[in-house]
Each structure stands twice: as structure tokens, then as C-alpha cells.
Structure 1
């Protein structure tokens, strides 16, 4: 018997001062049985930090082989941003950058290991792809506050992330790395 996805809801108050983005979001996030809470939380944070018109979680979720965790489509449905989460395969990042013209990676894992996995591989315009990482203690504390129904405030100022998740306040820098 196949396990089904667990639905989590997030009511998000987003204030990204760095980009001038201020939105109220209602997100329904299906957590695939093979997906851990750290990955799901990083996926939600990536969605918020990349928020723009046309953004969406991929149709197949984590198990999708054709799409990233988060993507942005224009009005013609063409993919304009390919956002991977975790420790993606270099081939996926290469394909996404060629297809969309803009790609990013958000990781809750050790960025040194993620960069080593991607470094030296054939990736279209690798130097233009940011790899963002979050402090491990920040992710662990945020995961501890996760529930099925979540209220979340996400604020970004000077690449510092301030998160209030179900009454728990946390902050961490958004570290940016580049593929070499």
C-alpha cells in the first residue's frame, strides 16, 4: 500500500525589504512520504524568498523528475526560473538553467558538500547560479516549530532572514555561494 502525501498549510506574511516584495500568502504544501521536514521547510522558504508573479511548487513535488521543487512561469506558461532544493544533481541544474535562463539552489545541507557535488560538472552558466544555504541550527529550530497548520512571518533585510513560525522567532543570514 502506497503512502500518501501529508498536507501542510502555511499562512505567510512576507516582507522582503531587499526586493520590495510584500505579500500575504496562503500555501498548501504536500509533503511526500520520502521528503523530510527539513526539505519541506527549505522548499517553503525558497518559495517565499523567490516569490514573484507566476511562482508555484512543481506539480509532482519532490518525486518529479521533469521539474524543480519550485518554478516560475510567465503568462505563456514558459518556465522563467528553475529553483532546486536540497542537493540536486548537476544534470538537473544544467537542464534548468538552459531551459529557464535563471536558476537557484536552496539547501538545508552542508553547502561545502553541495558545492563539491556540483563543482567541475557541466552546468550551463554555472557561475550565474546562486546556491543559498541556511544555518543548520536555524533549520533545526524551525522544524521543531512546524505543525500541520502554520502561521509564518518571513522578513528579509540585508540578506538576513527573520522568521516567526507558530510563535517561535528565529533569525539567520542567507549565505550565498557560487558553483566553481
Structure 2
């Protein structure tokens, strides 16, 4: 018998003081049996940091990347079906990144392994002319701590101030200093 996804419910309040973005989200997240809580929380973080202010340009949706290798972790299509934003987690290979950068208006990668800087150093020279790619590194210890905040029912508060993200759930706080490896503002 196949294992089923584990369902998490999250109420997330975002206060991004750096960009004047304030939003509340109520999310239902299906965690694939092979997905860690750490990866799921990075996926949740990527959603909250990239969710559009309104749905005039389409919804940001969770993808099927754990089931389908050619699918993103998150994606946003405009109302005509045009791919606006493709979001990957981890360390996608060069061929996939080249293909996706050609198909989407914006591509973001959130890497959270100890080897992220080494992985990106091997690819950086190949993406110097690409202007729609943003690559972020979340330090491994901080992403592990973020995974420790996961609960089946969460009330998460995210605050971004002076480039530092503070995640708080149940009285526990994690400080995350993401490093931008590629891309503009």
C-alpha cells in the first residue's frame, strides 16, 4: 500500500518591513511521504515571500515537484496561462534551469544544503547573461531550525527586517539570513 501525503495547516502572518508588504495566508500543505519537514517549511517560506499582493496576475500555487520531476515546487501563471514565476527548491541541474529560464518570466531557486555555495559556483558562469534568475541560499543550520517549527497545525509569524527573516511559531523563533547568490532586487 502506498504511503499518503501528510496534511499540514498553516496560518501565516507576513510583515516584510523592507518592502512594505503585509499579508496573511491560510494554507493547506500536503507533505509528500519522502519530503522532510525542513523542505516543506522552505517551500512554505518560498510561497509566502513570493505570493502576489492580489490575484490580478494569477495565483501562486504549490507544484507537484515531489511526484513529477519536470514540475516546480511553486508556480504562478497569469490569467492567460503564461508562466510568470517558476520556483525551485534545492539544487536543480543546469539543463533544467536553462530550460525553465527560457519558459518563465521569473525563476527563483531556494537552496538549503551545506553544499549550496559550491553547487552555485559550478553553475554561476553559465548564467551571466540570464536576467530572470534569482538564487537564494538558506544556511543549512537555519533551514533545519525552520523545519523544527513545523506542526500539523501552525500559527506562523514571519517578519523581514534589514534583510533578516524572523520566523516565530509557538513561542520559538528562528533567525534566517538568506544569501542571494544570483539576481537583482
Query: Normalization by structure 1: what TM-score?
Result: 0.87
Q: The residue matched to 2:71 in structure 1 has which SS?
A: coil
Identify the residue that residue 156 of structure 1 maps to in structure 2: 160
Relative to structure 1, the CA distance from residue 155 to residue 24 in structure 2 (aligned partners, 3 Å threshold; closer, same or farther) is same
Distance, in Å, in 2 between the alignment partners of 1:17 and 1:74 is: 27
Taking a change above 3 Å as real, the CA distance of residues 102 and 124 of structure 1, as seen in their structure-2 partners, is farther
Question: Does 1:131 find its partner at 2:130?
Answer: no
Q: Structure 1 pair 6/125, CA: closer, same or farther in 2 (3 Å)?
A: farther
Please tell me whether residue 13 in structure 1 is matched to residue 13 in structure 2. yes
Moved over 4 A (4+): none
> Secondary structure of 1:67's partner?
coil
Query: Equivalences for 1:83-122 in 2 at 5 Å?
Result: 83-110=87-114, 111-116=116-121, 118-119=123-124
Contact 2:105 2:132 in 1 (8 A): no
Q: Which residue of 2 aligns with 1:172?
A: 176
Counterparts of 2:75 and 2:30 in 1: how far apart (Å)? 16
Gaps of 5+ in 1: none
Give, in whole Å, the separation in 2 of the partners of 1:73 and 1:166.
34
Q: CA deviation at 1:158?
A: 2.5
Shift of residue 61, structure 1, vs aligned partner? 4.1
Structure 1: distance between partners of 2:81 and 2:128: 22
Deviations 1:45-79 (A, max 9, x none): 11111111421111x24222332101112122221
Aligned residues: 177
The root-mean-square deviation of aligned C-alpha atoms, in Å, is 2.1
**Following the alignment from structure 1 to structure 2, what is the Cα–Cα distance between the partners of residues 74 and 124?**
27
Query: Secondary structure of the equivalent of 2:100?
Result: helix
Shift of 1:118: 3.3
C-alpha displacement at 1:90, in angstroms?
1.9
Conserved in 2, the CA contact under 8 Å of 1:72 and 1:82? Answer: yes
Among 62, 66, 89, the residue aligned to 1:57 = 62
Q: Name stretches of at least 5 consecutive residues in structure 2 with no aligned partner.
A: none
Q: Is the 8 A contact 1:8 1:29 kept in 2?
A: yes
